[in-house]
Structure 1
């Protein structure tokens, strides 16, 4: 059985591909772009279903894993990630058809898994049909060939789906419900919709790489105190004053990284839901942009998407465990209660406890993974939010993008500084752990 490659070999996989694939390889780039487009089709269904950030990370992870299982089963040079999972899946070998088209089968498997796992996954059936028709026309694939590849992809997806069903997601509704209190320093629902806490039991979801949900728990947040000079009071005043004095650039940054899947705006007595992509969805979009620019092979693009998605999945488990452990109040609540009743954050406060910052954890984890695979100082133009009416932003590296995503939470008025800074450290530690775990796998692979 193949084991995962150490991260320096993962990097070589990518760097050698960049050196050998001609820049004008339009077919290769078109296949990677099309894969990214299909990932967005999954994101679109999540938008329709108003999937919350941790749940979205789970759906991306299993959908990408289905695609990667097609790739790794038919390319011996690709690392077998699943052998390093906390709980290894029992994926049986599936005989590929002689007519195998790996690009088609991997993409179809991803859509198939999304169709089976998402609440409104049935919406992807139309996308699958359209994909088959477009692929047949573009690559002159015969009906029999596409049917054989579809059957193969469905078997792969079914195996991944069976593994997904054992991760504890189906038991979440059986746990004791979270009940907020009015206790000083504790989280309480925020305006305008006062939505109940999202996924308070996410710590019970099985991680892919972590030993436990609390493995990368950050240090405790600053104790609640309204005493002048206390750390908490100083941070509270920083949020209060920062939002009041935002520059145009800072406001643009806050809105660009908002990634709130369902904000509520009231107009008179009418409530309007404003949907956006989740933090994980934003980084999946960045992965597509980067892979297309890098001129890597299709297989390696699927690897990048998959390792990113699996890592984001664990990042949200780590972060959500801490959120409901510390159960910390949001800036909006403490400021309205104690400083200024009329103060409002730029962004709508998300419906879950404050510490640590989810976007800080997830973005930092993503930056570690993508930097390891695609290199330092990888410049890119992020147009993943254009769909939502936001302008393109340019970055010189994944770390720069992650740092901006983190500080955006202060500009938006929804996080204290220690939740941001400790969240960044939490995400980086997790990302490095995942890379190390892959390397440790390879150290025993030659025995």
Structure 2
């Protein structure tokens, strides 16, 4: 499905090409190319590729992290007075090549080209982002950017992107592609696949991926969850399990909207009789990347601030998923749907579909809290806005009073949806806040 923003970027580039086809001898290109909305639309292009090709959320976070770092390193090189390279701050990121004659390079364009080139390399199908890469160059040409500047800009962008991609290959991603699969067994309280797909666990080795900021996974790991105790009817496990059921049995329309809005299931399997079909939406990191763009526009952020916000948020989510997934496959905690079916009601089903991996801690709670801390550090804690991210999927908007309040609502949505216990959300959010705070304190981006 063509998304609204995909159509917008295509229309924008087509319009600019048409009205400037005479290639004016002025600097109109400077203002047009440095429009932060153009970068937001470039990120949305990657978001669409991730959506259309069913990337799981943790892999999506990797796609966004490397692409945004490439974009950020370009703008930091172009404005070293105000921005600092992440080399020496992000783990194992080497020093990147200096741009040479900066007067010959348009850094906003180079930033978008580097983002697009890395986004193309870390996703599939091959070449999925290159039409956008070519469209950006055509736009610059149509706006009157000198040919030698376009050439120098492209060469520098490609140099940065190649260095970022070489660095990315050391994060253990390739090795985890052939790692052993998760072993399912029927031990009490242990996660097992859930209906309707009964799919194998997604990315059980993601906790082995190299973090970008965290020195130790233990330091940010969610604390030990409540013991799976089916005898103590007043204990935390049984209490929280029954809370999931009671809330699920009496959802209000507002709670349903919250659950649907933050569902962010990249691949939902729908079953109707003998007919099965899939529907797609943003994954959690895709939703938050969309929020960055909305917030940047509401705040009136300039190009470099917008790139910084995307990059810091992507890094926080990347580390958040590593920490969360390590915890998931240490604790292997049973999902509420399975526990309720086994202990209370074999016919009970959650409002939204249970994803295929262990329950504790909540991934959405973890990465939302991490993202909120990063975004708050850029835009402050008073920015309110309308989150329109789900309109393209037919789901109404949510009003947001702060990033942290949005993260709390995202966490609660999993309880309303029936796929997480309250302790999954609360303790996951604690862990995510630690990770986001660590990213904010460790990374000096804007001087």
* TM-score exceeds 0.5: yes
Distance 1:416 1:104, change over 3 A: same
Q: 2:281 aligns with which of 276, 281, 298?
A: 276
- TM superposition shift of 1:229: 1.3
On the 8 A contact 2:63/2:119 being kept in 1, the answer is yes
- Counterpart CA distance in 2 for 1:97 and 1:438 is 25
SS of residue in 2 equivalent to 1:123 = coil
Q: 1:72 aligns with which of 58, 73, 76?
A: 76
- Range with greater deviation from structure 2 (378-387 or 51-60): 378-387
Distance 1:79 1:53, change over 3 A: same
Where do residues 44-443 of structure 1 align in structure 2 (5 Å cutoff)? 44-76=48-80, 77-96=82-101, 98-137=103-142, 139-227=143-231, 228-438=233-443
Unaligned runs of 5+ in 2: 1-29
On the 8 A contact 1:114/1:121 being kept in 2, the answer is no
Q: Is 1:42 the equivalent of 2:50? A: no
On the 8 A contact 1:215/1:318 being kept in 2, the answer is no
- TM superposition shift of 1:183: 1.1
- TM superposition shift of 1:182: 1.2
- TM superposition shift of 1:131: 2.5
- Counterpart CA distance in 2 for 1:276 and 1:305 is 20
- Counterpart CA distance in 1 for 2:99 and 2:110 is 13
- Counterpart CA distance in 2 for 1:328 and 1:320 is 12
On the 8 A contact 1:96/1:152 being kept in 2, the answer is no
Kindly tell me the number of residue pairs found equivalent between the two proteins: 416
On the 8 A contact 1:29/1:292 being kept in 2, the answer is no
Deviations 1:336-388 (A, max 9, x none): 12211221111100110000001101111111111111111110111111122
Where do residues 24-43 of structure 1 align in structure 2 (5 Å cutoff)? 27=31, 31-43=35-47
On the 8 A contact 2:33/2:109 being kept in 1, the answer is no
On the 8 A contact 1:94/1:156 being kept in 2, the answer is no
Deviations 1:38-60 (A, max 9, x none): 11111111112210011111110
- Counterpart CA distance in 2 for 1:396 and 1:349 is 29
- Counterpart CA distance in 1 for 2:145 and 2:87 is 31
- Counterpart CA distance in 2 for 1:438 and 1:128 is 29
SS of residue in 2 equivalent to 1:84 = coil
Question: Larger RCO: Structure 1 or Structure 2 (Cα < 8 Å, ≥ 6 residues apart)?
Answer: 1
- Counterpart CA distance in 2 for 1:317 and 1:397 is 25
Measured on the aligned residues, the alpha-carbon RMSD in Å equals 1.9
1:11 corresponds to: none
- Counterpart CA distance in 2 for 1:371 and 1:173 is 35
On the 8 A contact 2:57/2:283 being kept in 1, the answer is yes
2:12 corresponds to: none
